[in-house]
């Protein structure tokens, strides 16, 4: 199954205005704070079975808990903004463990305990591109490669392995610079931001937690 081709093509449907127009937005915006459950902007897309996503909290923060067993479905948030105007993406996440059979270089191992990705739609849907920030299974932290199913998705290892599993880790990426670096061109507007915990190829189980995602401008 061409898993990521189908995911990318499906994501082109998520073209709505969830943020203010470029130039009028505040310096930081929270995509969803999860305080009232999942906001209406989220859409569930199932590709093989169902990953379960629930909005929860503890005495420190609100978050989404994701659990998956031999399944792949994601949460996509419709959005439309200029990544040059708001290039910063920040979030925190935690995993229970990576996937023993997971391997970023193979189709059979193309599963991840946690990922956050940014979709850049095109009017020609087969040209849709995505930056996929993964908690890698085997790919070393800081490395990146094209997805095993399609070169239109770049897999970027923000974290890797089980060394820090069970810990909340803070992440920050400049999606504008990442797109230029990996696709060698200026990015189009962002069409969706998604989270996904998937285990359909490996048939394993995974649990992950995702904090609210923050979209921001560069520091002045």
Grade residue 10 by pLDDT with cuts at 50, 70 and 90.
Answer: very low
**Tokens standing for 80?**
């439309």
Reported as a single tens digit per residue, the pLDDT across 94-134 is 999 999 999 999 999 999 999 999 999 988 888 899 999 99
**Cβ atoms within 10 Å of 119's Cβ, excluding its own:** 26
| Tokens linked to 143 | 């490395």
What pLDDT does 123 receive?
Answer: 86
Segment holding 78, helix H or strand E: strand 72-81
The residues, any chain, with a CB within 8 Å of residue 41's CB and separated by 6 or more, are 16, 18, 31, 32, 77, 78, 79
Cα–chain center distance at 122? 18
Domains, the chain, in order of start with CATH, read: 3-216 (2.60.120.260)
- Cα→Cα distances 166→95, 106, 135, Å: 6, 26, 12
pLDDT at 25: 54
Res 144: pLDDT: 98
SS3 at position 81: strand
Q: Would you tell me how many other CB atoms lie within 10 Å of the CB of residue 69?
A: 15
Question: pLDDT-based confidence at 13, cuts 50/70/90?
Answer: very low
Of the listed ranges 22-36, 94-108, 148-162, 198-212, the one predicted with least confidence: 22-36
User: Span 48-52, mean pLDDT?
Assistant: 94
With bands split at pLDDT 50, 70 and 90, how would you rate the model's confidence at 160?
very high
pLDDT greater than 60 at residue 7 = no
- Say yes or no to pLDDT of 11 above 50: no
- Residue 220: per-residue pLDDT: 55
* Stretch 177-183: mean pLDDT: 98
pLDDT in tens, 65-103: 999 999 999 999 999 999 999 999 999 999 999 999 999
44 pLDDT above the threshold of 50: yes
Tell me, what's the pLDDT at 124?
A: 84
Query: At 175, which helix (H) or strand (E)?
Result: helix 175-183
pLDDT classification of 5: cutoffs 50, 70, 90 = very low
CA angle 92, 3, 168 (to 5 degrees): 10
What phi-psi label fits residue 18: left (phi over 0), alpha (psi between -120 and 50 degrees) or beta? Answer: alpha
* CB count in 10 Å sphere of residue 186: 10
Closest CA to 105 of 148, 152, 42, 153: 148
Residue 25 to residues 36, 86, 137, 168, 191: CA-CA distances in angstroms?
23, 9, 36, 29, 17
């Amino acid at each position: 199954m061409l898993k990521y081709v189908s995911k990318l093509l499906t994501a082109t449907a998520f073209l709505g205005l969830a943020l203010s127009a470029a130039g009028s937005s505040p310096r930081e915006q929270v995509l969803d704070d999860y305080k009232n459950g999942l906001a209406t902007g989220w859409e569930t897309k199932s590709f093989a079975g169902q990953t379960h996503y629930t909005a929860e909290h503890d005495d420190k923060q609100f978050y989404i808990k994701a659990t998956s067993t031999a399944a792949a479905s994601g949460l996509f948030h419709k959005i439309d903004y200029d990544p040059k105007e708001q290039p910063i993406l920040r979030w925190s996440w935690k995993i229970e463990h990576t996937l023993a059979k997971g391997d970023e270089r193979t189709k059979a191992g193309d599963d991840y305990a946690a990922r956050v990705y940014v979709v850049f739609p095109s009017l020609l849907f087969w040209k849709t591109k995505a930056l996929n920030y993964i908690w890698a299974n085997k790919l070393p932290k800081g490395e990146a490669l094209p997805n095993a199913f399609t070169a239109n998705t770049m897999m970027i290892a923000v974290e890797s392995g089980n060394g820090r599993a069970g810990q909340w880790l803070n992440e920050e990426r400049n999606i504008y610079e990442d797109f230029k670096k990996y696709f060698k061109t200026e990015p189009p507007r962002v069409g969706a931001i998604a989270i996904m915990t998937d285990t359909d190829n490996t048939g394993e189980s995974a649990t992950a937690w995702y904090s609210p995602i923050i979209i921001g401008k560069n520091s002045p």
